[in-house]
Every structure is written in structure tokens, then in C-alpha cells.
Amino acid sequence: MQVVYARCAGLDVHKKTVVVCVRLVGADGTMTTHTRSFGTTTAELLNLVAWLLTLEITHVAMESTGEFWKPVYNLLEGSLTVLVVNAAHIKYVPGRKTDVKDAAWIAELLAHGLLRPSFVPPAPQRALRDLTRQRTHLIQERASVVNRMQKVLEWANIKLASVVTDITGVSARAMLQGLVDGQSDVTALAQLAKGRLRSKLAELEQALRGTLEPHHAFMIGQHLALLDVFDEQIAAFDTRIQTAIDGTQPDPPPPTDAVGADRPPADAPSAPNGAWTAQAILDAIPGIGLRVAETILAELGTDMSRFPDAAHASSWAGLAPSQHESAGKRKATRIRDGNKYLRSALIQAAWAAIKQPDTFLAAFYRRLAARRGKKKAIVALAHKILVLIYTLLRTGQVYQERGAAALDARQKERIVHRLERRIAQLGYKVHLEPITAAAT
């Protein structure tokens, strides 16, 4: 088998150690190997880099095992060509498994060009990823605190959640704080309602009448204090993320002359030179809000040239339609694993998009949900949104809403034939004639 990289190394990375197998092929075809183990502290990893450079290694490969590969990658990134490979793509050598054999097997596969590297974004995008992912965890933890507080309210027979939409809203928060402070007059508590909630004063009085014990009030107070901490941290992350995006986000390519290009809305953000920013392009798509757009930019980036086409981007995100065909029959399969943060953000955008009924995306969902069910339809809609994002970021265009009728217009002939066949099955003969032609 042809040797692609004559001087390469395979790394088997663990929490405390890194086993390195160096593979050197001379001009006469002779092959020598060197194996050493290093620690994972910064000083040990710097010794590893120096040793590899001494041997004139050009390419290094390692598995993407949890978080342990990241410190190794950070120190090797600027000196060598580093391939981070999906562990599922590497078949271990038969026989007894050892770290040395694993490193040697990785080096052999790399030498013959049999490893496909995973996508590792540049350092500024990795920093933005860290911020958006931590914010996602904070939002999830905040939701968990809200659920635990709701349990305490149920224990105290306070049915506030049956009347208000959000128990952490302004009105509900004031009522809960009143309960914590010892207020027992439900009429006075209900009067804290604001806005449209004041039309439900009688219901609020009934919902706030319960069996609140002192320990219930204490627990609710602690939950409210914890929510304040989470709100403060989330707001700080919002500011830091926006600053990172403003400082690192490059402008997308100028709009092409392809069909679908459009001018931005008057209130949309724009770059100083008048060009559309990537964040504004995403925000114009139905269902994508500010936080979802920030997550997509952090996970996917703005440079779409790293993906050959939209299908590769969908596969990387774990939203590509799976195929399993055997004996001429296609079987149902699940979507593959991918970037869970990006997939979650796109599915969240899909659920928001279907709430705008007159849009093309909502019409696409309704048509598919009638045949395949809501869950499969929402995943398919998330896939379509990702294809839209890929196309718009690559061409520099802006999303132009075509309306719900555009889907019927695109499939007009198919719909007509289907309805004509259905009428024939019911025992009728029908002659179809366009309205415009009949009027003339």
C-alpha cells in the first residue's frame, strides 16, 4: 500500500498519559518506529512537541476521546498538521489491546492516508463555542431550578402555575416573594398582578390559597435567590458572546445574482461597510432568534467552504436523512449522531418557525407532518433550515419569504394529478380546465 506520509505519528491520549508511536519511512523504503509515553501536564506536552519536531514529524493523528485531546491539540496546532479522528472510524488491531498497539495502529493508518480528520474550528470560534455552550448549560440549570420550585409549590397546594404562564414572570415573582415574606392575604397578593393578568384576580386568589409551611417558604426563597444568580450569569454571558461575535465575525461574501437574493429589513443590523453580517442573515430566517443565531454561528461558523456541500454540513450536524437498504427494501432508521448543540438549536428554531403559519417553512412542516408524524417532520424542517443557512452564508444572500402558497405552486402539477386520481377512485370523471383559460 502506498505511503502518503513518510514521517508521521499516532497518539493514544488518556487523562494522565499520552502514548506516542512515531513512524519513519526512509528513502530506501525501510521503516522504523519509536514509541514513548508522556504526561499530560503542559511541561510534558511541550517535551512531546519538541521530540516530534526533532524527528521532523509532519503529521500527527489522535482520536477525539472526550475532552482529553484538546490540551494536546492546543500545543500541537501551531507546529504540526494535526488530525483529530472520530474513534468510530478506527478499527483496533486484532489481539490483545494495549495503548502501544493503539498508537501504532493510528500511525499506520495515518501513514497510508486512511484517516479522515474531523472538523476542528479555529481558535476564535472555539472560544465562542465555549461561551455559548456554557450559556446553554446555565439556561438548562435555570430551568431545572424552576421545575424544583414548582414542585415545592405543589407540595404547598399553591396552584399559581395553573393561572400564569410563567411562574418566574414579573407578576408571579412578586407574588412568590410576598409568600416568602410572610404575606398570607391572598387578596393583597393577587393585587400584585400586572397587565392582562389583572383580569384573573379571582382565579389568582384561589390559586394562592394553600397550605404553605415555613419550610416551604424558605425553600421558595432559596430558589428565587438561585434564579437571580442564574439570570445575572446568563446576562453576563450574553454580553460577552455578543462582544466575541462583533470582534471575530468576518463579513459574508457579497450577494450573488442568484434568485432569492433580497435586501435586508430596515431595522436589521449591518456591518460598518453596509454589508450584511452573518448574524443578521440568520436572524432573517423564520424561527431563528438572537440566542439561536449565536449558537449556530459558534458551532457552524461563517466559512461554509469547509463543507463540500449542504449534505455534508447536515451529516456533520446529525440531521442528514439516514438510509438503510437491504434486499431491495428500504428500512426506517434513526438520524446519526452529530453536533448535539447545533442540532438542538436547529430543532428549537424549527419549533418556533411553525408558529408562523403563513410562512413557507410552516407549510412544509404541515405537509410532511400529515404523512410522517410531527417528530419526523420537525427534524426534517430543522434539516431544511440548516440547508438554508448553508446556502445563504455561502452566497451572501438574505432569506426572502415566499409564503405558504409557494409550496403548493412548486408542486402544483403533482397536487392536481393526485386529486384527479382520487376523484376517479371515487367513481367520478372530471375534466380540469384552468380558470384563466375558461374566462377567455
**Sign of CA pseudo-dihedral 339, 340, 341, 343:** positive
Q: Give the model's confidence band at 420: pLDDT under 50 very low, under 70 low, under 90 confident, else very high.
A: confident
Q: Kindly list the domain boundaries of the chain, sorted by start residue.
A: 7-111, 125-248, 278-403, 405-440
Which residues lie closer than 8 Å to 407 by C-beta, 6 or more apart? 360, 363, 364, 367
Q: How confident is the model at residue 178 (pLDDT cuts 50, 70, 90)?
A: very high
* Three-state SS at 61: strand
Residues in the chain: 440
pLDDT of residue 259: 36
pLDDT of res. 252:
54
Please determine, for residue 261, whether its predicted confidence score (pLDDT) is greater than 60.
no
Which range among 83-87, 249-253, 301-305, 343-347 has the greatest average pLDDT?
Answer: 343-347
**What is residue 430's three-state secondary structure?**
coil
pLDDT tens digits along 185-242: 999 999 999 999 999 999 999 999 989 999 999 999 999 999 999 999 999 999 999 9
Side-chain-facing half-sphere of 155: CA atoms under 13 Å: 13
Cβ pair 404, 362 in contact under 8 A: yes
Instruction: Say what percent of the chain tops pLDDT 70.
Output: 90
Contacts of 110 (CB under 8 A, 6+ apart): 5, 8, 9, 10, 23, 59, 60, 61, 83
pLDDT for 238 equals: 95
Q: Contact at 8 Å (CB) between 320 and 335?
A: yes
The CA distance from 172 to 158, in Å, is: 12
Residue scoring higher pLDDT (431 or 22):
22
Characterize 118-141 residue by residue with b for buried, 16 or more Cβ atoms within 10 angstroms of its Cβ, and e for exposed: eebbeeebeebbebbeebbebeee
Spatial contact of 59 and 83, defined as CB atoms under 8 Å apart: yes
Task: Return all residues near 49 (Cβ < 8 A) that are at least 6 apart.
Answer: 75, 76, 79, 80
Predicted confidence at residue 94, as pLDDT, reads: 64
Q: Is the pLDDT assigned to residue 160 strictly greater than 90? A: yes
DSSP for residue 169: S
**Calpha distance 259→406 (Å, rounded):** 14
Q: pLDDT tens across 58-73, in order?
A: 999 999 878 899 999 9
Distance from C-alpha of 12 to C-alpha of 21, rounded to nearest angstrom: 9
**CATH architecture of residue range(s) 125-248:** Orthogonal Bundle (1.10)
Per-residue pLDDT at 328 exceeds 90: no
Q: Cβ(176)–Cβ(116) under 8 Å? A: no
Return the C-alpha cell found at 60. 500527527
Alpha carbon separation from 8 to 33, 34, 81, 85 (Å, rounded) = 10, 11, 10, 15
Overall fold of domain 7-111: Nucleotidyltransferase; domain 5 (3.30.420)
Long-range contacts formed by 320-326: CB under 8 A, 24+ apart: 320/383, 321/380, 321/383
Where do the H-state alpha helices sit in 321-373? Answer: 340-353, 360-372
Cell of 138: 446555565
Residues 6+ apart with CB under 8 A from 274: none
